[in-house]
Structure 1
Amino acid sequence: MSGLLLELLYSTANTMLDVLPIITIILVFQLVLLRRPIPRTKRVMLGFVYVIIGLSLFLVGLEKALFPLGELMAKQLTRPEFIYTHAHELDLHVDWKDYYWIYIFAAAIGFSTTIAEPSLIAVAIKAHEVSGGAIGVWGLRVAVALGVAIGISLGSYRIVVGDPLHFYILAGYVVVVIQTFVAPKLIIPLAYDSGGVTTSTVTVPLVAALGLGLAETVPGRNPLVDGFGLIAFASLFPIITVMAYAQLSEWQEHRKGSPKKQEQN
């Protein structure tokens, strides 16, 4: 208990140092440049206290739960005893198809963490309000979550086979550029932002831990070289799926509207 308390105090001290530049910049601009008092000073200061406490607890939680859990799941799912059904097959060559449970787990954890991502929820609500209801909250969240699920699963496959990361990223952005020319103009800025909001507090720790754990257990992989890169997949593929979601919705609207136009003619 005392060790955990010391870790929490250490995390709180580091968080205060990290937040200090933000507070300093705000105070300098507000008091020196704008020369206006901070409205509701007590409420603002209390909010900063909440931020420091929340970040400190979150960082300790990462070290104690999310990072170890992600690495543990990756190691357990890649154990030869788990991959092979029979004990006498342990000496056989491991093929990329034998890691299918890793791909399923990566897709599932990517989808579930993205659906729970607070930043994505905030963006989806604002997009729904600004668009006058044209962009559905759940439609956007599911589209982004599907992109993350596909991206992390494909990124896990890349780690298993050892392919160069830039091949996948370049190919993905070629698709993004092509979609940008044909997707509805309303969705393009939101799609590009959706790729960024996925890499936040809930998704990143588990995805990073999964990549490192997978690179440590797959023979011939280097955690430093192969363990990172999953977050790039998690940022890229939501752009593709959100624009695809908009294109599919537009196609369905045209399909519904075409019989009405024929009747009018």
Structure 2
Amino acid sequence: MEAEIRFGDFVREVSLRQTHISFNELAAYPKLDNKIVPINRQNEKLKVSLKDIYRILGPYTTVRFVDQVKAVIPLAIYLMFFQIFILRQGIADAALICGGLLSVMVGLMLFMEGLKLGLMPFGETIGNTLPVKSPLVVVLGISFLLGVGVTFAEPAIGALKAAGQIVSVEKAPYLYAMLNEYSGALVLMVGAGVGLAAILGTLRFVYDWSLKPLIYLSLIPVLLLTGYVGIFDPELAKIIGVAWDCGAVTTGPVTVPLVLSLGIGVASVVGRGDSSLSGFG
């Protein structure tokens, strides 16, 4: 089965620095007797030195680590200058911050590689296989469950729940209750919203719906409701921010790759429109 790859990924892979290593350098030569006949013995374990490990993994990891350096370092420099020149504060615990940035870059490198090799092929395989072998109702149910599941796995959801600990119950009682006492229900409702969006995206592919009406029908009522609550209910107005933040945290590093790959898989099976550029929207 042929697979398409992005030209940028192809160029990045073929441009890796490669070093050829002879197998004789990795394995010891067999001992010979006086008649130049190898002495029979048990096979020895293959020994790989740290230098050889670097030669093998270095070209593979260097490119991926440099990508994360290019993404993190500019942001770190911006925050440093902002703190020094705008906030007029020095950088405390610089060594600890540098160690944290290094850990972030290494973690992002491993995380992105895991998404590329594990999560995205998983979603695309489901999108390719499920519509062929199962009826539409099953496809919609699986899409909904995936939307709920990836929301619980989203790291930003945990950060949102942790933010509830700094909310004052006297100043914002509804917000405090939502982020502390009913945090599980909040995450479940956010997951249900993602699952519903996945269902609508699947139906859009099946029935060839346009994306614009779906955006208008969902966004305009939300904007009207936000304006009404902000003007006529001061207490509920305090949860408007977290309501919109819940929509932002669902577009995180776990939800987006899985939903995007699932949409690409479904689009390739349905075969309507430009499936190579399709997504759930």
Q: TM-score, normalized by length of structure 2?
A: 0.69
Change (3 A) 1:151 1:34: closer
Name the structure 1 match of 2:109.
Answer: 56
Q: Give SS of 1:196's match.
A: helix
- Greater than 4 Å deviation, 4+ residue runs: 1-5, 30-36
Amino acid aligned to 1:66 = L
Residue pairs, 1:127-142, within 5 angstroms: 127=164, 129-130=166-167, 132=169, 133-135=176-178, 136-142=182-188
Alignment size in residue pairs: 213
Name the structure 1 match of 2:258.
Answer: 206
Identity score, percent: 29
Change (3 A) 1:29 1:107: same
Contact 1:107 1:150 in 2 (8 A): yes
Q: Give SS of 1:200's match.
A: coil
Name the structure 1 match of 2:35.
Answer: none
Distance apart, 1:3 and its partner CA: 7.4
Name the structure 2 match of 1:102.
Answer: 139
Contact 1:77 1:102 in 2 (8 A): yes
Name the structure 1 match of 2:26.
Answer: none
Q: Spell out, residue by residue over 1:89-145, the C-alpha distance to the aligned partner (whole angstroms, 9 max, x if none).
A: xxxxxxxxx422221111111101101212122213323641534212112111111
2:186 maps to 1:150: no
2:40 maps to 1:40: no
2:221 maps to 1:169: no
Which of 237, 248, 257 is the matching residue for 1:196?
A: 248
Contact 2:147 2:198 in 1 (8 A): yes
Change (3 A) 1:145 1:5: farther
Q: Which runs of 5+ in 2 are unaligned?
A: 1-52, 170-175
Contact 2:268 2:276 in 1 (8 A): no
Contact 1:111 1:149 in 2 (8 A): yes
Which of 122, 132, 139 is the matching residue for 2:159?
A: 122
Q: TM-score, normalized by length of structure 1?
A: 0.72
Which of 57, 65, 69 is the matching residue for 1:12?
A: 65
Structure 1 CA distance, aligned partners of 2:272 and 2:83? 55
Structure 2 CA distance, aligned partners of 1:131 and 1:150? 33
Q: Which runs of 5+ in 1 are unaligned?
A: 84-97, 233-265
Name the structure 2 match of 1:77.
Answer: 130
Change (3 A) 1:101 1:221: farther
Considering only aligned residues, what root-mean-square deviation do their CA atoms show, in Å?
2.4
Structure 2 CA distance, aligned partners of 1:128 and 1:174? 32
Q: Give SS of 1:102's match.
A: helix
Structure 1 CA distance, aligned partners of 2:254 and 2:110? 14
Which of 140, 143, 149 is the matching residue for 1:112?
A: 149
Contact 2:124 2:262 in 1 (8 A): yes
Distance apart, 1:65 and its partner CA: 0.7
Q: Give SS of 1:134's match.
A: helix
Instruction: Give the number of the structure whose residues are more often helix, by fraction.
Output: 1
Q: Spell out, residue by residue over 1:179-206, the C-alpha distance to the aligned partner (whole angstroms, 9 max, x if none).
A: 3325832322221111111100111110
Structure 2 CA distance, aligned partners of 1:78 and 1:167? 25
Q: Spell out, residue by residue over 1:154-183, the C-alpha distance to the aligned partner (whole angstroms, 9 max, x if none).
A: 111111111000111100113213433258
Structure 1 CA distance, aligned partners of 2:68 and 2:195? 31
Structure 1 CA distance, aligned partners of 2:168 and 2:143? 32
Structure 2 CA distance, aligned partners of 1:27 and 1:173? 37
